[in-house]
Amino acid sequence: MTAASMVVAIVVAAAIDDLSDPRPQPGRAVTSKPHGRNTRKKENMIKQLDILLSTLICLSSSVSAFSQHEVELNNRAMELVRSAPGNRDSLKKAIGLLDSATTINPKYQLGYWNKSSILLSLGEFEASIECQDRILRLRPYRIEAWIVKGEVLERIGRADEAKLCYRRALSLEDSILRTGKAAPSNKIDRAYLMMFTETEESGLQELRRLIRRYPGVALYKQMEQFFVGFDRKKFISSLGKN
């Protein structure tokens, strides 16, 4: 992954102790009403995670490939999501803005990514999957898209297709590991995928193996709490629920 991926992984890990939601979804705008200092702290952290995770999907693309117009449309769409969480009218308007962005530039991956997240929050699973497919047609090696597509397929009962997505993502991670240039975030992603291709215990044990092998990498230890508390069935069933 890129250096920016590593930054995102570190921010996510650092936020684990402060956030009740263990795994914010890429591109999903998560907001909450302020109820004092701690809640405001959590809200600010969530917004930072949202921005970082949303941006990750297009970091490896050339900035010059995107015009200011489509970027502004995307920003307006995400502001609608953040300002009125769960409001179907606002979400539909946001989708319209993202459609305009991807019409201007059909290669604008962030537009598809955020649209997929909004559609998922609306329970429109097939349409959400189609957005991930658009990303994968542009970037077949986009690991995040394979993972999210697999999770949504599993949510709607298409388990065999979901397994193929997880295995594809795992294969891509293994290819990176074989280069000897894998970042800690790649190794964490691989452990996460093992919870889907094998068992939750397998993923946890893989993370703990990393903790033992690389005691100087704090990120692995920071992620342990998430892995210990992860319940695959609950996580999958929560998809599409605001």
Q: Are 109 and 138 in contact (CB under 8 A)?
A: yes
Distance CA 213, CA 191 (A): 14
Of the ranges 39-43, 129-133, 178-182, which one carries the lowest mean pLDDT score?
39-43
Q: What is the pTM of this model?
A: 0.75
More confident residue, 100 or 32: 100
Q: How is residue 81 written in tokens?
A: 């999501």
Q: Is pLDDT above 70 for 54?
A: no
Q: Which of 144, 163, 158, 152 is nearest to 240 (CA)?
A: 152
Q: Is pLDDT above 80 for 95?
A: yes
Distance CA 4, CA 214 (A): 21
Report which residue type is found at 77.
Answer: A
| Interval 31-36 mean pLDDT | 37
Neighbouring residues of 212: CB distance < 8 A, sequence distance ≥ 6:
none
3-state secondary structure of 239: coil
Instruction: Kindly list the domain boundaries of the chain, sorted by start residue.
Output: 3-238
Fold of 3-238: 1.25.40
Q: How is residue 161 written in tokens?
A: 């297709």
